[in-house]
Structure 1
Amino acid sequence: MDLSYILNELGEDRAAYFNAVAPPIIQSSNFACKTVEEMRYVLQHYTETHFYSRGNNPTVNMLEKKMAALEGTEQAIAFGSGIAAIAAAVLSQVKAGDHVVCVRKPYAWTSKLMRDFLPRFGVEVSMVDGTRAENYAQATKENTVLYYLESPNSFTFEVQDIEAVAALAQKRNICTVIDNSFASPLFQNPAAMGIDLVVHSATKYIGGHSDALGGVVCGSREKINRIFSSEYMTLGAVLPPHDAWLLLRGLRTLPLRMERVAQTTRQIVAFLQQRPEVEEIIWPFLPSHPQHQLIKKQMRNNTGQFSLRLRADSLEEVERFCDSLQHFLMAASWGGYESLIYPAAAYHRKDGHKPSMPFNLIRFYIGLEDAEYLIKDLEQAFSKMKG
């Protein structure tokens, strides 16, 4: 299916809304039936009809159709946040007594779901080094029902061999779920590599403007309908129509934004490679990275996230560098128009609290600004780092 068709036409019926170029926001919680027979039909086909917006909403459905097409899956379902989508995908596959194998160091709230939430309901979770596919096999038990991937995963961007893990799962009849937010559906399509459910935090690249929350699960019609009838309808973490409309707007410019982000990121990384203040750049798209060939095989282009470790002797030096940046916002998330940093130093406290992440680690996200504009900001921050 042509990308331009997906982004600009798929799922849209302009004749149904006065030939408006932009689709409407159907801000209705309820949809009426004209007859008892019509209501009877709707109640029997609630996964595919409009009756109540906690189920289906026309604006949300447009987004779901486009996301399914972008990921090459039969269907998709949208949620109110990325973690809501992740949780629903995982919960749809597990019950008490089951076992899950999850990549080590995933997104923080995914980690909390795996380490704290699932065990409360009798689900055991093993966290493994995902850089070796055989680690999934070695951690597998007779009651293993799910492999969870996030490639590349958060902050340090380890890559999993998606095809290899999917093949292991298929041999054992184990479901696979992957968080594909880092790559976007433009640059990586895990379903084509054998993954069952592909999850996105649409808050990030899909929205692209840092003004809407959302999450999406893409997969087979059978698996998505199962999620719809259970986790989605029961827990109610629905995507509001207005946020769906904002995410649709974001999709219109997704290819342009992703190409700009990719190009600028390469320029910024090249600049940072020459700086004596930088001890290490953690970015699998560098030829020197041990997983460079794997990520080149799995992803069609780089995106805007990387981390670096400053050559700093103290927490104060890291703080001076971060505090001196004028055009990189210090914030969570990524994928919008604005460039960001997320310093691990924020987790280190004066009382001696030291988390597992080193104090000199900083995650960067490169947005849509000019490369030279950002480079000048980095230069002046480096000049102030030593005090």
Structure 2
Amino acid sequence: MLMDLSYILNELGEDRAAYFNAVAPPIIQSSNFACPTVEEFRYALQHESEVDFYTRGNNPTVDILEKKLAALEGTEHAIAFGSGIAAVSAAVLSQVKAGDHVVCVNKPYTWANALMKKFLPRFGVEVTMIDGTDAENYRLATKANTVFYYLESPNSFTFELQDIAAVAAIAKEKNICTIIDNSFASPLYQNPAAMGIDLIVHAATKYISGHSDVMGGIICGSRETINHIFEREYMTLGAVLSPHDAWLLIRGLRTLPVRMERIAATTRQVIAFLEQRPEVAKIYWPFLPGNPQFELAKKQMRNNTGQFTIQLASEDVPEIERFCDSLQHFLMAASWGGHESLIYPTVASYRDGNYKSNLPYNLIRFYIGLEDPDYLIKDLEQAFTKMKG
């Protein structure tokens, strides 16, 4: 049964009577929780996934966050981590053993890519990277020992989509687990569990936080699978989210709908401006009508979000750098999802005449924050005029 969004964000998991009827939940900054009797201590030892016993396992503030995120994704349960890649890694490691095979979409997030290409092979896990724009490529890459499919829709940087429902259907035919990174769309604009995906991961550092001041990661899934991860990868590796950081993420969730609406509307206006500029050769954005996956984007996602990439018409490194350096209201930074607009230029990987990347060096990834659209458009305009020096 679907819950009302306002109920999830403002009430779910918040037992205000238990903490002096405070409107904002307290930060339970305790590493340890006492038991009054041996019998209760015994129960806690045997059922640590169910009770607050030791904050490396459960904590009341973190519990509130997990309940809200599970509800937002329409899953039975969720578990919070100290970073997005910690969540990705735990989800992946929960499914593999030596001798297994994995099928992963090409060009995932940098550290997910490193996990697949560098880390898993060290432990005897084979990984096949595929073009995820055709769901049948997952089927074609499947082997007898394939244990999970990894999706990231849209992909990082160039934002290709996978047909989530089609990939999930193939996986279910073959009894294969599916994992997706849903950070780009946020739980408001895309719900992969409803399309058949087993595990949904988020970098909560991004939209869920919304303020660029906290790191976090989330895995959402069935209670059985999340408890399995809790008892093994989560408790063993210890990449836990602190109570204070959980409190900051709860605070971020309060404004998630209004932030996402503002970001989506401003992004559309900025894209419309960039479409008219001769300095822009191409725009990578799923919701562009000319994008071959435009209809799939509308089918899978309820709205656009704030990331897109442009390819400048120039291939001159000084011109590209001049454009980036001339922007006054777009910060140059690696992450996204906060209140501030950002760029990430691939030309930053161009050093001493050498370029080490599989992406063109004239790509610039943009993230649109909460600023007024005209404010951002004027900044882009003046930066374009300075490109030629």
Question: TM-score if structure 2 supplies the norm length?
Answer: 0.99
Distance 1:352 1:83 in 2: 29
Report the equivalent of 2:95.
93
Moved over 3 A (4+): none
Once residues 344 and 252 of structure 1 are traced to their aligned partners in structure 2, the CA distance between those partners, rounded to angstroms, is: 34
Q: In structure 2, how many angstroms separate the alpha carbons of the residues matched to 1:198 and 1:285?
A: 22
CA drift at 1:353: 3.0
Q: How far did 1:44 drift?
A: 1.6
2:340 to 334, 338, 341: 338
Aligned to 1:294: 296
CA deviation vs aligned residue, 1:178-237 (integer Å, no higher than 9, x gap): 000000000000000000000000000000000000000000001000000000000000
- Specify the alignment match of 1:139 in structure 2: 141
TM-score normalised to structure 1 length: 0.99
- Residue by residue over 1:224-256, the C-alpha shift from the partner in whole angstroms, topping out at 9 and shown as x without a partner, is 000000000000000001000000000000000
SS of the residue corresponding to residue 12 of structure 1 reads coil
Please point out which of 170, 187, 206 is paired with 1:204: 206
CA deviation profile, 1:271-318 (whole Å, cap 9, x unmatched):
000111111111010110000000100000000000000111311110
- For residue 123 of structure 1, the aligned residue among 120, 125, 131 is 125
Give the one of 245, 248, 254 matched to 2:247.
245
Query: 1:42 pairs with 17, 41, 44, which one?
Result: 44
* C-alpha distance in structure 2 between counterparts of 1:327 and 1:297, whole Å: 33
Partner of 2:150: 148
Runs of at least 5 residues in structure 2 that lack an aligned partner in the other structure = none
Structure 2 residue 256 is matched with structure 1 residue 254: yes
* Equivalence map 1:1-387=2 (5 Å): 1-387=3-389
- Please tell me the residue identity of whatever aligns with 1:220: S
SS of equivalent residue, structure 2 residue 12: coil
Q: What is the aligned-residue RMSD (CA, Å)?
A: 0.6
Partners of 2:51 and 2:356 in 1: CA distance: 52
Q: SS at 1:372's partner residue? A: helix
CA contact (8 A) 2:355 2:361 kept: no
State the one-letter code of the partner of 1:127: M
Identity of aligned residues (%): 77
- Partner amino acid, structure 2, of 1:19: N
| Offset, 1:43 | 1.1
- In 2, distance between residues paired with 1:309 and 1:3? 37
**Separation in 2, partners of 1:355, 1:221:** 40
Q: CA deviation at 1:357?
A: 1.1
Q: Which runs of 5+ in 1 are unaligned?
A: none
CA distance in 1, matches of 2:294, 2:144: 34
SS of corresponding position for 2:149: strand
Residue 94 of structure 1: how far off its partner (Å) = 0.4
Count residues in correspondence: 387
For 2:361 and 2:290, how far apart are their aligned partners in 1? 24
Q: Could you give the per-residue CA deviations for residues 52-111 of structure 1, whole angstroms, max 9, x where no partner exists? A: 000000000000000000000000000000000000000000000000000000000000
